[in-house]
């Protein structure tokens, strides 16, 4: 799926000699696809896209406000997030790296994450979907907080690991839509059943891939350390 490709790109940024610009360009392309999805709601359209199936909630001020905050702020999280994995940026422009990291963290923790949490309580598909989206929002914010804590402690290895986990969940915005498209165009499943499935597939798969990348990176670092002794 799209986000698995993106996570592989993040892994390759660390382990290949291909310029960061190429990998980040590919990430930017996928982020652009997300922008095309969200732009239909701007500046303020309440009867397009996803909102067509949320009309029962559109008059609830809390949910409607959370939705549009999430739409407007999420693109900054996607953009600022993928820049954090550029080795060139970290090496040559550390202040810019930190600034974009702060933008990512502040946006996620104070704006996009809480808005997503509120939306989770109103998710389609009943209790199963609501648990999935609420848990996604909580873990998303938790991993980001831990990334900040580890950076403050100068533990940059674990800082990067938590950032990989955080950004993996950021990419769930793309994965959910990719899974939904794939399922609805291959098998006949009632719409709400599809939504219950993708509510979990949209982020659990990303987290599994993130943990695999962290494991492989840790394993490689251990072997490299042994070889240099």
Per the structure block, which two tokens stand in for 119? 């939306």
Whole-number average pLDDT of the chain: 80
Residue 229 pLDDT more than 80? no
Residue 80's pLDDT is 76
Q: In the numeric block, which tokens belong to residue 139? A: 């873990």
Q: What is the pLDDT of residues 11-23, one digit of tens each?
A: 554 444 445 566 5
| Residue boundaries of the structural domains of the chain | 2-228
Q: Residue 172 to residues 61, 66, 84, 227: CA-CA distances in angstroms?
A: 25, 18, 17, 37
- Can you tell me the distance from the alpha carbon of 159 to that of 49, in angstroms, rounded to the nearest whole number? 36
Using the predicted structure, report yes or no on whether residue 205 has a pLDDT greater than 80: yes
- Which DSSP symbol is given to 28? H
Q: Which of 118, 36, 155, 31 is nearest to 81 (CA)?
A: 31
Residues 187-223 as b or e (16 or more Cβ within 10 Å = b): eeeeeeebbbbbbbbbbbbbbebbeebbeebeeeeee
Q: Cα–chain-centroid distance for residue 116? A: 12
Q: Is the CB of residue 172 less than 8 Å from the CB of residue 136?
A: yes
Question: What does the radius of gyration of the chain's CA atoms come to, in whole angstroms?
Answer: 18
Q: pLDDT-based confidence at 225, cuts 50/70/90?
A: very low
| Geometric angle at alpha carbon 158, from 157 and 163, rounded to 5° | 105
Q: Name 64's Cβ contacts closer than 8 Å, sequence gap at least 6.
A: 46, 57, 58
pTM exceeds cut of 0.85:
no
């Amino acid at each position: 799926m799209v986000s698995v490709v993106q996570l592989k790109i993040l892994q390759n940024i660390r382990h290949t000699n291909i310029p960061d610009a190429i990998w980040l360009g590919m990430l930017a392309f996928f982020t652009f696809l997300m922008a095309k999805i969200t732009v239909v709601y701007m500046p303020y359209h309440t009867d397009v896209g996803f909102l067509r199936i949320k009309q029962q909630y559109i008059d609830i001020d809390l949910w409607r406000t959370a939705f549009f905050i999430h739409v407007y702020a999420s693109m900054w999280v996607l953009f600022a997030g993928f820049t954090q994995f550029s080795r060139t940026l970290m090496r040559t422009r550390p202040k810019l790296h930190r600034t974009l990291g702060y933008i990512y963290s502040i946006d996620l923790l104070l704006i996009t994450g809480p808005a997503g949490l509120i939306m989770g309580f109103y998710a389609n598909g009943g209790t199963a979907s609501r648990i999935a989206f609420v848990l996604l929002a909580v873990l998303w914010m938790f991993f980001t907080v831990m990334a900040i804590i580890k950076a403050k402690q100068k533990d940059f290895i674990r800082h990067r690991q938590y950032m990989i986990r955080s950004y993996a969940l950021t990419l769930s915005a793309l994965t959910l839509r990719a899974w939904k498209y794939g399922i609805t165009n291959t098998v006949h499943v009632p719409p709400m059943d599809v939504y219950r499935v993708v509510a979990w597939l949209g982020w659990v798969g990303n987290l599994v891939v993130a943990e695999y990348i962290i494991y492989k990176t840790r394993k490689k670092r251990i072997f490299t350390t042994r070889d240099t002794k």
